[in-house]
């Protein structure tokens, strides 16, 4: 058996070059990336808060415990551990971050933010991070407008278990059960007015949640759906995206997650020369400065890592097909797309929008010409909040 060695940690010069590829904003954090790499531990450093008790409530959507945190500026914030259903229908736990404005209101409308890919390790949950707002768009603006802001971590991030990266059902369960949990919480009075907002992987999570709401949580009400450069069709990520650092991250995270979920050995799907790089990329969390370290680790991959065709090889082919997000939705939808995005190309989003319209879904489409996948998340905030206020007003 050949011996595989981990690629060396990128040098400061390599990080600066990688940051230059990603734009001016990334340069500001590249200098801190080496420090972040030094501080990162190989094993997840997740607080004991996230461990599930031996005995859980029998129903999904029930709060197990809460913890007040001071990691979000200009807001009151809590970590939430709650029950949800896994893909087999068994009760398990998931976690979330819940934020309220500093000024108290009698009731709060609920904005649910589904985050982009942050990793596949437990410590990559936004609620675990010392600065969770780095992974959560629109939080500051939501606080200024008096909304409640709920950010589910998804299964296996923060909470115990395997993170189902771009796997629809268990992710949707965790989002819908987070809403259930907060609407029965004693922390605040949450109204039944709810908006789902997701970016990239979060767009996939939000669409799945909206599509499953009627069957899984019919007591909930979702007033609208904002999808930013949404990864609605996982197969298209393998077909359409260019060989970019972000694409390599997606390939690595999906390979690690799906091998854990299916029990398939990575060596059956990944080229021998790419195995070490895939494992190294998946160790990182793509939040803040550490994201630059993770993106730099993609340089050693040398192109697409798969030794198989995922679209025609089982179990990957079935997973790609079965986890395409629903496009027949009862809720009104706004899709906001980066015009320079090569990870989720504009043509892909336009195709999905046309499909939604063919089913009778009320959908608007905005294309922001100057933004790519990395810069688009913050760029969509203004249009997203404008549409949310229109829906609620």
- Please write down the HEC assignment for all residues of the chain: CCCCCCCCCCCHHHHHHHHHHHCHHHHHHHHHHHHHHHHCCCCCCCCHHHCCCCCCCCCCCCEEEEEEECCCCCCEEEEEEEEEECCCCCEEEEEEEEEECCCCCCCEEEEEEECCCCCCCHHHCCCCCCCHHHHCCCHHHHHHCCCEEEEECCCCCCCCCCCCCCCHHHHHHHHHHHHHHHHCCCCCCEEEEEEEEEECHHHHHHHHHHHHHHHHCCCCCCCEEEEECCCCCHHHHHHCCCCCHHHHHHHHHHHHHHHHHHCCCHHHCECHHHHHHHHHHHHCCCCCHHHHHHHHHHHHCCCCCECCCCCCCCCHHHHHHHCCCCCCCCCCEEEEEECCCCCCCHHHHHHHHHHHHHCCCCEEEEEECCCCHHHHHHHCHHHHHHHHHHHHC
Question: Is 166 part of a structural domain of the chain?
Answer: yes
User: For residue 304, what are the domain limits?
Assistant: 12-41+235-319
Between the ranges 12-26, 165-179, 274-288, 363-377, where is the mean pLDDT highest?
165-179
- pTM, full prediction: 0.88
- pLDDT tens, residue by residue, 122-158: 999 999 999 999 999 999 999 999 999 999 999 999 9
Question: Is 91 part of a structural domain of the chain?
Answer: yes
Question: Is 388 part of a structural domain of the chain?
Answer: yes
CATH number where 215 lies: 3.40.50.1820
Question: Is 360 part of a structural domain of the chain?
Answer: yes
Question: Is 3 part of a structural domain of the chain?
Answer: no
Task: Check whether residue 34 and residue 56 sit in a common domain.
Answer: no
Task: Check whether residue 135 and residue 225 sit in a common domain.
Answer: yes
User: Among 126-135, 208-217, 239-248, 357-366, whose mean pLDDT is lowest?
Assistant: 239-248
pLDDT of 1: 41
3-state DSSP of 243-256: CCHHHHHHHHHHHH
Task: Check whether residue 264 and residue 372 sit in a common domain.
Answer: no
Task: Check whether residue 141 and residue 245 sit in a common domain.
Answer: no
Task: Check whether residue 290 and residue 337 sit in a common domain.
Answer: no
pLDDT of 327: 96
Torsion of CA 226, 382, 166, 46, to 10 degrees: -120
| Strands 91-100 and 108-114, bridge-based pairing | unpaired
Question: Is 7 part of a structural domain of the chain?
Answer: no
- pLDDT tens, residue by residue, 222-231: 999 999 999 9
Question: Is 6 part of a structural domain of the chain?
Answer: no
pLDDT of 226: 98
End-to-end alpha carbon distance in the chain: 64
Task: Check whether residue 19 and residue 168 sit in a common domain.
Answer: no
Task: Check whether residue 80 and residue 203 sit in a common domain.
Answer: yes
Task: Check whether residue 70 and residue 167 sit in a common domain.
Answer: yes
Q: Are 306 and 255 in contact (CB under 8 A)?
A: yes
Last residue of a domain, one of 268, 301, 319: 319
Task: Check whether residue 113 and residue 197 sit in a common domain.
Answer: yes
Q: Are 210 and 128 in contact (CB under 8 A)?
A: no
Say whether pLDDT at 5 is over 70: no
Task: Check whether residue 141 and residue 211 sit in a common domain.
Answer: yes
pLDDT of 32: 46
- pLDDT tens, residue by residue, 334-352: 999 999 998 899 999 999 9
- Judged by phi (left if over 0) then psi (alpha if -120 to 50, else beta), residue 87 lies in alpha
Per this entry, what is the length of the chain? Answer: 393
Domain total in the chain: 2
CA distances from 304 to 112, 238, 260, 265, 333 (A): 34, 9, 20, 18, 33
Closest by Cα among 228, 208, 227 to 216: 208
Question: Is 181 part of a structural domain of the chain?
Answer: yes
Last residue of a domain, one of 319, 346, 372: 319
Task: Check whether residue 292 and residue 373 sit in a common domain.
Answer: no
| Interatomic CA distance for residues 33 and 195, integer angstroms | 34
Task: Check whether residue 123 and residue 219 sit in a common domain.
Answer: yes
Split at pLDDT 50, 70, 90, the class of 238 is: confident
Last residue of a domain, one of 319, 353, 369: 319
- Give me the chain's average pLDDT, please: 88
pLDDT of 125: 97
pLDDT of 34: 43
């Amino acid at each position: 058996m050949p011996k595989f060695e981990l690629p060396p940690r990128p040098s400061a010069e390599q990080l600066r070059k990688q940051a230059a590829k990603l734009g001016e904003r990334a340069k500001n954090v590249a200098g801190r990336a080496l420090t972040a790499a030094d501080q990162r531990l190989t094993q997840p450093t997740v607080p004991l808060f996230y461990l599930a008790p031996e005995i859980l409530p029998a129903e999904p959507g029930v709060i197990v415990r809460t913890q007040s945190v001071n990691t979000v500026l200009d807001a009151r914030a809590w970590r939430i551990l709650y029950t949800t259903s896994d893909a087999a229908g068994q009760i398990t736990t998931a976690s979330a971050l819940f934020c309220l404005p500093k000024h108290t209101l009698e009731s709060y409308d609920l904005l649910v933010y589904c985050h982009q890919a942050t990793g596949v390790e437990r410590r990559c949950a936004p609620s675990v991070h010392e600065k969770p707002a780095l992974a959560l768009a629109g939080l500051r603006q939501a606080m200024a407008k008096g909304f409640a802001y709920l950010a589910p971590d998804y299964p296996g991030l923060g909470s115990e278990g395997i993170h189902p990266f771009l796997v629809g059902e268990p992710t949707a369960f965790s989002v819908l059960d987070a809403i259930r949990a907060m609407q029965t919480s004693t922390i605040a009075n949450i109204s039944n007015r709810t908006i789902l907002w997701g970016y990239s992987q979060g767009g996939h999570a939000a669409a799945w949640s909206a599509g499953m709401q009627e069957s899984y949580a019919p007591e909930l009400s979702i007033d609208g759906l904002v999808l930013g450069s949404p990864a609605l069709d996982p197969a298209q990520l393998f077909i359409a995206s260019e060989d970019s650092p972000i694409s390599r991250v997606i390939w690595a995270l999906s390979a690690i997650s799906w091998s854990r979920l299916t029990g398939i050995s990575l060596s059956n799907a990944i080229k021998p020369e790419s195995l070490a790089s895939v494992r190294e990329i998946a160790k990182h969390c793509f939040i803040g400065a550490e994201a630059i370290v993770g993106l730099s680790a993609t340089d050693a991959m040398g192109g697409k890592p798969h030794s198989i065709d995922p679209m025609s090889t089982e179990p990957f082919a079935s997973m790609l097909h079965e986890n395409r997000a629903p496009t027949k939705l009862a809720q009104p939808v706004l899709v906001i797309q980066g015009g320079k995005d090569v990870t989720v190309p504009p043509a892909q989003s336009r195709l999905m929008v046309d499909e939604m319209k063919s089913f009778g879904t009320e959908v608007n489409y905005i294309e922001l010409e100057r933004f790519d996948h990395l810069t688009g998340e913050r760029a969509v905030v203004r249009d997203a909040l404008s549409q949310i206020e229109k829906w609620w007003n």
